[in-house]
A and B are shown apart, each in its own frame.
Chain A
Amino acid sequence: MRIIVAEDHVFFREGLVNVLTDFGHDVIAQFPDTEMLAEQVCADVPDLVILDVRMPPTHTTEGLKAAQQIRASFPEMGILVLSAHVETQYLGKLIADSPGYIGYILKDRVANFDEFFRFTRDIIEGKSVIDQTVVKDLLNRANNRAALARLTDRERKVLELMATGRSNKAIAGRLSLSRRSVESAVSDVFNKLDLPDREDDQRRVLAVITYLQS
């Protein structure tokens, strides 16, 4: 996999590059900020761009802006946004401005190599990946608490996993349920939350996240 990394913290960046290289990926460029990022992406199109949310000069949402910019020119490109914080606002921005694949995980996930590389694979395959912690946080502070309260425990877990971008199959595996049970739980969730059912996993993530954020 050909990867570009943008991360301002030198230890983290070097460590990440180390890990990626060690797992046989090709880090074609690395940046401490987003200044040259877009140019580099255009010049030598990678499979995946990994970038931090907070980067110089203002240390606010430079990474998100760069991600949206790249997404606008390359709708199909895999983009993984790393965040040091559980911040659902960023996720909202990411969705609102450029509906498409979403890759948004906490930096802690990198240390779990299996999980991390599964995420990167999913993203390249065109799936959305959203950090579980972020989703949990979203569920906890959702405005539609009343509607969510009507969900059973199982439906709630299914919703959570849907929001992280898992397919029905993955959810079934994760919750040790049959495909059919998962499918019925999914349709129950959509009914209870009054959402149009979506076949497509990708659209489903967006719908669920948008719902939780509304």
Chain B
Amino acid sequence: MSESALNRRTPRTFQTGGRTPPLSKVSSWSLDTSLWTRSKNSVKTLRGATMIALCLVGLGVSVASLVMPFPPWVPQPDKISLVLFTSCGSAFLLGGLLISLWRPKNKIGVLMIAASFAWFSVNLFRVNSNLAFTVAAFSYILYLAIIEHMFIVFPYGYIRSATDRTLVIGTYCWCLGLNALGMLVWDSSHDDCFNGGCPRNLLGIYRDPALNMTIGRVLCDGSCLLMTGTLFLVAFRWRQATVATRRIMTPVALGAIPVAAGTLIDQGIQYGTAWPSDLWSQPGQWLLLAVPASVLLGLLRLRLGHAALTELVVQLSALSQGESLEPLRQLLRKTLHDPTADFGYRYSKSAPLLNADGHVIDLVMARSRQGVHELADADGTVYGVLLYDPILDEDPRLVRAVVEAVKFTVQNKRLEAERQARLKEIQALTVRMVTATDAERRRIERNLHDGGQQTLLALGFLLALCHKKASDGDLSTLLELLNNASKMTRSMVDELRDFCRGMHPTILSEAGLEAALESLRQRTSLDMSLDLLLPERLPALAETTAYFVASEALANATKHAHANVVTIRALMEGAELVVEIKDDGVGGATFHDGGGLQGLADRVAAVHGQFQVHSPEGDGTRMTVRIPCAS
């Protein structure tokens, strides 16, 4: 009871965990797993025992109904009527038990069982006991009230509005109250017993046959009126219901017609009799069989969704990789028999939830009208949402199963898309890296070719010329040529040194990032300030990357940005090296393939770092690099 109440009160939204939902969440809805708590188990055991006991009692009551002798104060019904009477009560009991078995949370099962016992309570008239006779006289009408109760609360099983509550309570009061009132003025031992000699009505305190008769008539009229009213109420409810609800309600709405008819017939026959003595052979009673049949059928239709679930899983796995959500939505609508079912998907973290039509799904609004089930990542980010008719929550297992199936597919597809995107990114990065390496090799080749090799060639024939001059004895020219030669040599040494530093500064590997940046500062023509708070040494890859970014940024500031002042800040944030380079140049730096910025970004990406550039036109450039340093 507490569990069903809880279930009722919880909003129809429960977040599903990411790739691995917590165990408790799984077990909380899969009733068949043994992962549930002990109290749950004992509840189940108790329920099972109750069921068996009810079965046995029901069997006993039915057998008794067939074989118990009829005393002289009630008319002996024919065999067919008696069998029909017993079948009707048994059908209620059986239906109630089945519903309780399938849908333990739905109170309709309990109501049906109660109706069955109320029905069989008529048999107490056959017991020669004042108390039994009184109870039978009081409760024989109760089944009508319970049937009406059932129609009113179908298919939820609980009272959902104040009107419903008034109706239900009113019905019980009407039937039981009026009946009790009639009993007060009825002395069964004197009045209108079939053959006389019947037990005494214990409630009778005053004998007034005329008043008793009037009350009986009002009771009959009222019962017919109530039943007809309920028929209209059910019809009205059906009209108002959503498609998914109608699916369940249709059998019941149709079933209410014969029930009302049966009631009219039976009550019409009893009309005007002092007490309903011939209750076993009422001609309309077989029409009441429509109650258990229609209720069972209605709830069964909801249950049939499970069969479609298998189909859903098969179809989901066949769903194409395309971006469109339409096939998924159609599949959901088909499986859930709910044309309002919808699926929203968030294509990126900051994007809104969109459905197949591209409409934004407003969760607040959706929750007020529909069943909502969110699909969330491990970090709680909702990436998808399933919307459905709240009636489907009557079968939470169906909804959960659909959600799990959809989640599985969607997650699979998301992972696949993510993997593809990542792969593309890596492929592009690889291409850019290879291209960059290639360009670097060309740069080195040209540098060596244009610098070293040419100078050496020139030096070669300069020396040949010296040789000639020496043999000619032209000493003054020789001296001049030798001067040239040593000048060339010095220049070449300088060139090579610069070149090597450009490749990888020795100071970086020998003395670390701080010293290397300091050396960069000493050599630049710009006004450069350093604000460093670094450990002595960092992983070599982090140092090289940071230095490379700083020196490239400095080169950009000098060559392209025409900056005057450059500030470099470097510090550790946790296990991350953060370097920020700011200049007061012209800004407007952009990424393009083969460009310096792209090269830097790639280089940082290669060490799993982050690279940000803020370079508004005319307002300087700020680069921020974050390089993970966990070794």
Q: Residues on A close to B: CB < 8 A?
A: 8-9, 11-12, 14-16, 18-19, 22, 54, 59, 84, 107-108, 110-113
Contacts and interface: CB of A to CB of B under 8 A. Distances in A.
B468 A108 contact: no
Given A12-B454, A16-B458, A54-B449, 19 more contacts: A11-B459, A15-B461, A16-B461, A18-B462, A18-B465, A18-B481, A19-B461, A19-B464, A19-B465, A22-B468, A59-B450, A84-B454, A107-B457, A110-B457, A110-B460, A110-B461, A111-B460, A111-B464, A113-B465
A9 B450 contact: yes
B285 to A, nearest CB: 105
24 contacts: A8-B450, A9-B454, A9-B455, A11-B458, A11-B459, A12-B454, A12-B455, A14-B458, A15-B458, A15-B459, A15-B462, A15-B465, A16-B458, A18-B462, A18-B481, A19-B461, A19-B465, A84-B449, A108-B457, A108-B460, A110-B460, A111-B461, A113-B464, A113-B465
A108 B449 CA distance: 13
Top 5 nearest A-B pairs (CB, nearest first) are: A9-B454, A111-B461, A11-B458, A15-B458, A111-B460
Contacts of A111: 457, 460-461, 463-464
Given A59-B446, A59-B450, A84-B449, A11 B455 contact: yes
Nearest to B491: A11
Contacts of A12: 454-455, 457-458
For the side of the interface on B, what is the size category? 10 to 19
Nearest to A109: B461
B289 to A, nearest CB: 97
A101 B398 CA distance: 90
Contact of A11 (B446, B454, B463, B468): B454
Contacts of A112: 464
B483 interface: no
A59 B457 CA distance: 18
A18 B468 CA distance: 13
Contacts of B507: none
Nearest to A113: B464
Interface string B431-466: 000000000000000100110011101111111110
A17 to B, nearest CB: 11
A18 B464 CA distance: 12
B488 interface: yes
B458 A84 contact: no
Contacts of A19: 461, 464-465
Nearest to A116: B461
B537 to A, nearest CB: 39
A199 B491 CA distance: 51
A113 B488 CA distance: 20
A interface, by DSSP: helix, strand, loop or mixed?
A: helix
A44 B264 CA distance: 128
Contact of B453 (A14, A22, A84, A110): A84
B457 A84 contact: yes
Contact of B458 (A9, A22, A59, A113): A9
Task: Tell which of B450, B461, B468 has the most Cβ of chain A within 10 Å.
Answer: B461
A26 to B, nearest CB: 18
Contacts of A15: 458-459, 461-462, 465
Nearest to B453: A84
A9 B447 CA distance: 12
A19 B461 CA distance: 8
Contacts of B446: 59
Contacts of B455: 9, 11-12
A9 B454 CA distance: 7
Nearest to B469: A22
A108 B458 CA distance: 9
A11 B458 CA distance: 6
A9 B481 CA distance: 18
A113 B454 contact: no
A10 to B, nearest CB: 9
B467 to A, nearest CB: 9
A108 to B, nearest CB: 7
Nearest to B464: A111
Contacts of B460: 108, 110-111
B455 to A, nearest CB: 5
A8 B481 CA distance: 21
A120 B457 CA distance: 18
Interface in B325-356: none
A150 to B, nearest CB: 38
Nearest to B481: A18
Contacts of A108: 457, 460
A107 B461 CA distance: 10
B449 A22 contact: no
Nearest to B462: A15
Contacts of B453: 84
B472 to A, nearest CB: 10
A22 B464 contact: no
Contacts of B468: 22, 113
B315 to A, nearest CB: 60
A30 B446 CA distance: 22
Contacts of B461: 15-16, 19, 110-111, 113
Nearest to A52: B454
A112 B461 CA distance: 7
Task: Tell which of B449, B455, B457 has the most Cβ of chain A within 10 Å.
Answer: B457
Nearest to A11: B458
Nearest to B463: A111
Interface string B103-120: 000000000000000000
A32 B461 CA distance: 19
A132 B268 CA distance: 129
A125 to B, nearest CB: 23
B450 A22 contact: no
A59 B460 CA distance: 23
Interface string B146-178: 000000000000000000000000000000000
B470 to A, nearest CB: 13
A125 B521 CA distance: 59
Contacts of B481: 18
Task: Tell which of A11, A16, A108, A112 has the most Cβ of chain B within 10 Å.
Answer: A11
A208 to B, nearest CB: 28
Nearest to B468: A113
Nearest to B450: A9
Interface in B466-507: 468, 481, 488, 491
